Chain A
Amino acid sequence: MAKHRWVFVVSCIGVIVGCASKPDAESVRAHAEAVVAEAYPGMPPALTQRAVQDDDQKLCSRRPDEKLTSDEARRIVDAARASIKYPASGALAGDWKAGEKLVANGVGMRIRDGRVEAAKENGALCINCHALDPKELNVGNLGPSLTAYGVQRGNTEATLRYTYEKIYNAWVYFPCSNMPRMGHNGYLTPEQITHVVAYLVDAQSPVNRK
């Protein structure tokens, strides 16, 4: 607990002027990381591991005034591209009815008292942020409306591929998008993603109903 504070005290003794002014970014980062590492006392290591960032999360954690360079954006896109795995069946559009259940399901992987909630499968969380079925009003707007997605984009092979990849790892098309990398992070399985793809593009799906 006191370790990083000692680091801070020692660095203050060394650089009194530095401490009197604003702390520099690197020392803030180091102290903040120590603070995060100690933020979850008594939790199993498998769970605290979730708070450890991968390289791309680090790049995507900047303040709005600290833009990515084009090289960094390229690195994120390349890593995202390399991360994508496709379903064993090869079919990118699954069962839209299974997708319909997934998109409204907000359950999965939450932790209380050191235990992961029990759930048959993780929900896809879609309507927390996106409008889909025009009849469903209990939808969020952190992401764009996807109502009539299939009407607008059709269900060509290119659309299926784009949609699957976007859900699997959104950062391949939009580096540092707010959208979670659902497949890459192991939150959804490739098969689950195919069901969501079908729900988005299928002409029978409520998303595309007139």
Chain B
Amino acid sequence: MRGRAVLIALFLAAPPLGAQNDGNGLAVGRQMLAEDNPGELWVQRGQRLFFEKRGPKGVTLERCDLGLGPGRLEGAYAQLPRYFRDTNRVQDLESRLLTCMVELQGFKRETIVADRFGTLDKDSDMEALVSFIGSKSNGVKMNVPLAHASERETYKIGEYIFHRRSGPLDFSCATCHSDEGKRIRLQELPNMTDPKQMQVVVGTGWPAYRGTQASVRTMQHRLYDCNWQMRLPDLGYASDMSVALTSYLNTRGNGAVIQLPGVRR
């Protein structure tokens, strides 16, 4: 707890990563952090949780099919979101894990959803599992499938929503993520129209360790947090909207070499 508070303080005290981070101390600091990534703790805990007999049914997640067959984790994240026949829907890693934890382990959906984001008092099992499974695609290139009609439909829905303006501030995702070198205050914004930047965004997170929050955060959390800033309501966890946006973004990052969890401010 106390260690975490100190970690957060360090991140808050450091100036935010500004626009001009080429070759300066901030870039060096970021590199050092990436080499000693606290997210590894989430990976280890996630590994333990994955192989532990858990839930009312007391089983491990080894029968969980993330798209490449039950228990096959290597490279699974690199091909998500994808269509799953058993649920007849396109799922991202988190919505798929939710299915497995409910169907295989007998957890209540509400229990998992309530635990989706860790707090300073309690780590999230989901954030740990996502870190572990994400890391099992390290070194693999992102390769989201669009072979199934539902996958193509989901991608197109994500593209539509990315540009869809609403709310009291008239924002869409594109408002902040379509131009080069933009910032909100000093926070850099990735330009998601640039394939090269999408490679970085998709290859190194989410999941990523967030220094200011002293926790690994997932893609679902990133989207939830953007919705909050846009003055929209709490985005439903594992909602079709979150999966569609993830499908759109991950697909545009196809080819990125995965290195997870990443490290972010």
Contacts and interface: CB of A to CB of B under 8 A. Distances in A.
A23 B166 CA distance: 24
Interface of A: 1, 5, 8, 12, 19-20, 22-23, 28-29, 31-32, 35-36, 38-43, 47-48, 50-53, 57, 60-64, 108-114, 125, 127-129, 137-142, 178, 180-181, 185-187
Contacts of A125: 169
Interface string B125-164: 0000000000000000000000001101100110111011
Given A8-B153, A128-B185, A32 B164 contact: yes
Contact of A129 (B149, B184, B232): B184
Contact of B161 (A5, A8, A32, A38): A32
Given A20-B149, A31-B153, A187-B169, A50 B164 contact: no
A110 B229 contact: yes
Given A31-B157, A39-B236, A142-B183, A5 B168 contact: no
Contacts of B157: 28, 31-32, 35
Residue in B169, B170, B236, B240 whose Cβ sees the most chain A Cβ within 10 Å: B170
Contacts of B167: 50-51
A128 B186 CA distance: 8
28 contacts: A12-B149, A20-B149, A28-B156, A32-B164, A36-B161, A40-B232, A40-B235, A42-B236, A48-B233, A50-B166, A53-B166, A61-B163, A61-B165, A108-B231, A114-B233, A125-B169, A129-B184, A137-B186, A140-B183, A140-B187, A141-B19, A141-B181, A180-B169, A185-B169, A185-B170, A186-B168, A187-B168, A187-B169
B168 A185 contact: yes
B242 interface: yes
A12 to B, nearest CB: 7
Contact of B185 (A40, A108, A109, A140): A140
List 5 tightest A-B contacts by C-beta distance, closest first.
Answer: A39-B241, A180-B169, A43-B233, A32-B160, A40-B233
Contacts of A61: 163-165, 172
B99 interface: no
Residue in B153, B193, B233, B234 whose Cβ sees the most chain A Cβ within 10 Å: B233
Contacts of B164: 32, 36, 53, 61
Contacts of A64: 178, 193
B228 A36 contact: no
B170 to A, nearest CB: 5
A62 B178 CA distance: 13
B178 A139 contact: no
Interface of B: 19, 88-89, 149-150, 152-153, 156-157, 159-161, 163-172, 175-176, 178-179, 181-187, 189, 193, 228-229, 231-236, 239-242, 244
Nearest to B167: A50
A47 B233 contact: yes
A210 to B, nearest CB: 25
A83 to B, nearest CB: 13
Contacts of B244: 32, 35
A129 B182 CA distance: 9
A109 B184 CA distance: 18
B235 A57 contact: no
A50 B231 contact: yes
Contacts of B187: 140
B172 A38 contact: no
A35 B234 CA distance: 15
A60 B228 contact: no
A28 B158 CA distance: 10
A24 to B, nearest CB: 9
Given A40-B236, A57-B166, A62-B163, A180 B182 contact: no
Contacts of A28: 153, 156-157, 160
Contacts of A110: 228-229, 231
Given A38-B236, A40-B235, A22 B168 contact: no
Contacts of B170: 57, 60, 180-181, 185
A176 to B, nearest CB: 8
B246 to A, nearest CB: 13
Nearest to B16: A138
A60 B187 CA distance: 25
Contacts of A23: 149, 152-153, 156
